[in-house]
Amino acid sequence: MSDPLLEVSNLTATVAGFEVTHGIDLEVGEGEAVALVGRNGAGKTSTFRSIMGLTPIAGGSIRFDGEELTDLRSELIPKRGIGYQPEGRDLFTGMTVEENFRLPIWTAGDARGIDDEDAVVEDVFDLFTELENRRDAEVQNLSGGQGKMTAIGRALALQPDLLILDEPLEGLAPVVVENLKSYIREIIDRDISVLVAESNASHVPEIVDRMYVIERGEIVDSGDPDDLVQDEEIQLLMQGGGT
């Protein structure tokens, strides 16, 4: 594996005082695409939110590009180069698609060294061509797929080194899922590292280089996605059986 860009060690996250992850270890290398696969409630979102500083941690370390993130205030984490698409999209309603793309540039553009705001926004629209004719639409009027694209585009507008995508394919029609997969592959081709959470393991081999399996807040396996998806124990685990 290439040098780790993100290195999570022994991470224990808490929600309302209860531990929801227990000693998570995972790494993402520069330009690498990695998946965190697990059933709903397995701890994927809590892990991602901990990396973004949105869920408190009880212990462990999160290093990004050599810097310890757990010492930073949450708003500084995107400025270090981590873009985040949350599970529920969480778009800024009442604002247009384009405004949602511009907001991260206004808040973190200086820290990310963005000189040409318009060029970055057009670059995002160039990737998500389906959003081009919806740029002035208020985001609450978008379809599910367009909403996911807008949430990913907003994270991408930060010009991140690492993009964290939480269930980008969940709840979408098959044809939209295929579209989004191709967009994610295109993002990876741009040498942006990607960490993606998925509850449907069958999507993963087409997107990522490596995958971790999480169950009940612990990493239970990791390795090549093609092998792990074929593994009967993993399949049983994803269906709610196993240990």
Partner 1 sequence: MFESLPYHALNGVYYGFILFMIAAGLTIVFGVLGVLNLAHGELYAFGAFVAFSIVGYLTGLVAEPTGPVTALIFGAVVLVGSLAAAAVLLPVGATLEAAFVRPIYDRDDVYQLLLTYALLLILTDVMKFVWGAKPLDVGVYDGLNAIPTTELFGIDYPTYNVVVVAVGLVVFGWLVWFFDRTKTGRIVRATAIDREMATAIGVSTDRIFTLVFAMGAFFAGFGGAMVSIGPGSAYLEMGLSPLVLSFVVIVIGGLGSLRGALVGALLVGVTTQVVTPYYSELELAVPFVLMVVVLLVRPEGLYGTWGEIE
Residues of this chain that bind partner 1 (CB under 8 A): 52-54, 73-79, 84, 86, 90, 92-95, 99, 103-104, 106-108, 111, 154, 158
- The least CB distance from residue 163 to partner 1, in Å, is 12
Q: Which of 75/227 has CB closer to partner 1?
A: 75
Report the residue number, 48 or 201, with the smaller CB distance to partner 1: 48
User: What is the sign, positive or negative, of the torsion defined by CA atoms of 44, 194, 35, 40?
Assistant: positive
Q: d(Cα 28, Cα 96) in Å, to the nearest integer? A: 33
Min CB(105)–partner 1 separation in Å: 9
Q: Which is nearer to partner 1, 64 or 203 (CB)?
A: 64
| Shortest reach from residue 229's CB to partner 1, in Å | 30
Cα separation of 32 and 1, whole Å?
8
- Cβ closest to partner 1, residue 68 vs residue 90: 90
Report the alpha-carbon distance of residue 143 to residue 149 in Å, rounded: 10
CA separation for the pair 204, 176 (Å, rounded): 16
The dihedral through the CA atoms of 137, 140, 142, 147 has a sign that is positive
Q: C-beta of 131: minimal distance to partner 1 in Å?
A: 18
